[in-house]
Amino acid sequence: MKYTEEIHAERLLKMLEQKEPCIYCPTNINFGEAVQFLRGNNTWQHCDICRNFINIKNSHQLYPKCPCNKLGKKEAIKRTWLALEEKGYLVRL
């Protein structure tokens, strides 16, 4: 199964329901810490999924790649909510 934006958005919503969302990695099958989940050639591609979702441009700086570490928790969560809303994954009641 291909990991799509729709799957990522669903997992982000589950992550954001947690008391401390930045502890969890939405691309990790068990929502564990990001360091536990590496894809292909031991790269941090899973962080790129989150970074691309909230439109963080890749920089030459290798670390920190996780948006929660790169931007700080509050800003990363804010951008995630905004991206979820802009992309139509949040339904207004």
pLDDT tens-place string over residues 39-65? 444 445 667 788 889 988 765 555 567
pLDDT for residue 34: 47
Collect the ranges in the chain with pLDDT lower than 50: 34-43, 93
CA-nearest of 72, 66, 7 to 32 is: 66
What number of CA atoms fall less than 13 Å from residue 21's CA on the CB side?
21
Where would I find the beta strands (DSSP E) of the chain?
none
Residues 33, 22: Cα–Cα separation, whole Å: 9
Q: Amino acid identity, residue 48?
A: D
pLDDT for residue 3: 81
pLDDT for residue 64: 63
